[in-house]
Structure formats: structure tokens, C-alpha cells
Amino acid sequence: MAKVYAITNQKGGVGKTTTSVNLAASLAATKRRILLVDLDPQGNATMGCGIDKSSLEYSVYDVLVASKPVTECIVEATDFGFSILPSNQDLTAAEVELINEIGREFRLREALAVVADQYDYILIDCPPSLNMLTVNALAASTGVVIPMQCEYYALEGLSALINTINRVKQLINPTLEIMGILRTMYDGRNSLTNQVTDELRRHFGDKVYSTVIPRNVRLAEAPSHGLPILFYDKQSKGALAYLALAGEILRRSAATDISANTQAEHIHG
């Protein structure tokens, strides 16, 4: 059964899409079966995987609004070793069209349940706002990965996001957990970066990933070529950082599974 992670932050420009695409490619490089869901109407994750968003036959919009089977909408990014449920501008209308629908928060969860056993990880690239699309992502997920820059305003935004996550957990998805906070566009020479890191560690402890994603020109260039960084410049600092993040996520995931199995044995023992 797939682990489903929403990659979210209501602040724009923090590296959500970069993380979604490159984490998908890095996990796929470890021979995991990966589905990347582009839930942002801008369709940047779709384009970043070399798929033309303007010529899609079906997209995630058709899954959410027209109840199209997800299997008919998934596109294979065969060169990169993973699958993608693509997105484009049509998705902008989904929020309005779902407004009076019963169970609208669960549309994505119900759709993904059909294919959950075909993947090891499903990663959801969320839009930069706390709207119905993001709520759908959180309702469908087992965990949340929060990319953020180490700057003062980012800390303020983080508390609003965590309130939303807690509310979704309380009302519609009791299994939802924060998997980790990822520091992006990281520059360790900057004193504010270090202050924000200290603050994060004080509040979130080991929820802060030890891997950081550095500022990296090659990482910024890769999307314009429709390539994950591993396929654009695999020796770059950006590529090595996302491979390290994939490794850290897999190790944490394995440790959580062992702990859950031990607890289950203890209860049934």
C-alpha cells in the first residue's frame, strides 16, 4: 500500500514543485514505484516532467470533477521511471464546481485508493494556498512534507499551515502526520538561516530533515528543459541533495514501519 505524502506550503516560491519532481525522480532511482500527482492549476510539475500541459487528453481535473477513472488519466514519465497524474489550467475551475458536492474533500482520496497498491509512494504537489485542492490532498495523505525557506516570514506562515493540518487531522483524516520540514534554498553562511534552523529544531525536533536543499543554479535551470535534476546534471549539488533526501525519507519510513509492527505485535501478543 502506497505511502501518500502531500508536499505543501501555502507560501509560494519555497520549492514545492522542485521538491515534488526531484523527490519523485530520486525515489524512482532507488527502484521504488512512484506516482506524482500535480494538484496545482499552474501545471509546473507536469511541465517539469517534460509533459506538455496544453495537449493533455485528461488531467487530474477529470478525476476530481468528472469522476474519470484515475487509471485513464495517469501518464508515464517513462524516461524518468515514474508515473504522473498531470494538471493544467482546467483545475482552476474545480474549486467552484466542487463547492456544492457532497464529500468533495474526499474526491482525491477515493480516486487514489484504486491505485494505491500499485505504488510505493504517491507524492502530491499542492497549490500555494490553503484551498479545497489542498484539503483534498491532506485528506488523501498519510503524511505531509513541508518545504520552506529559512527566513522570518516563513516561520509565521508555518504556524498557519500547521493549524490547517491539525484541523484536517481532527475533522477528516485522523491518520495525517507531519513527516518532515525541508529547508530549501539553503545558505549556511547566512546568520538568519541558522537562527531559523535553531527555531525549527526547538519547536519540531527531529521532524526537521537533516538534509537541506542548497541554492543551486543547475536545480533552477532543470525545469525549463522539462527534466528532473538527476537527468539534467546528476553531479550537481541539487541532484545529490535530493538523492540524500530520498534516502532519509526511506530510512525514516522503514523505522516507522518497524515501530508500528512492534506495537502491533505487542498489542496482539
Q: Which tens digits make up the pLDDT trace of 35-59?
A: 999 999 999 999 999 999 999 999 9
- Cα distance between residue 172 and residue 40, in whole Å: 22
Exposure of 225 by Cβ count < 10 A (0-12 exposed, 13-18 middle, 19+ buried)?
exposed
Q: What pLDDT digit, counting tens, does each position of 55-89 carry?
A: 999 999 999 999 999 999 999 998 999 999 999 99
Q: Given this model, what pLDDT does residue 265 score?
A: 67
Q: What is the mean pLDDT of residues 215-236?
A: 96
The sheet carrying 82-85 orders its strands as 75-77, 82-85, 34-38, 121-125, 3-7, 143-149, 177-186, 208-214
Q: What pLDDT digit, counting tens, does each position of 166-211 carry?
A: 999 999 999 999 999 999 999 989 899 999 999 999 999 999 999 9
Q: Which residue has the higher pLDDT, 265 or 4?
A: 4
Q: What is the CA radius of gyration of the chain?
A: 18
- Cα distance between residue 27 and residue 94, in whole Å: 30
Q: What pLDDT digit, counting tens, does each position of 96-132 carry?
A: 898 888 899 999 999 999 999 999 999 999 999 888 9
C-alpha cell at 27: 525515489
Q: Given this model, what pLDDT does residue 268 score?
A: 64
C-alpha cell at 208: 526537521
Q: How many CA atoms lie within 13 Å of 168's alpha carbon, on the beta-carbon side?
A: 29
C-alpha cell at 105: 474533500
3-state SS string over the chain?
Answer: CCEEEEECCCCCCCCHHHHHHHHHHHHHHCCCCEEEEECCCCCHHHHHCCCCHHHCCCCHHHHHCCCCCHHHCCEEECCCCEEEECCCHHHHHHHHHHCCCCCHHHHHHHHHHCCHHHCCEEEEECCCCCCHHHHHHHHHCCEEEEEEECCHHHHHHHHHHHHHHHHHHHHCCCCCEEEEEEEEEECCCCHHHHHHHHHHHHHHHHHEEEEEEECCHHHHHHHHHCCCHHHHCCCCHHHHHHHHHHHHHHHHHHHHHHHHHHHHHHHHC
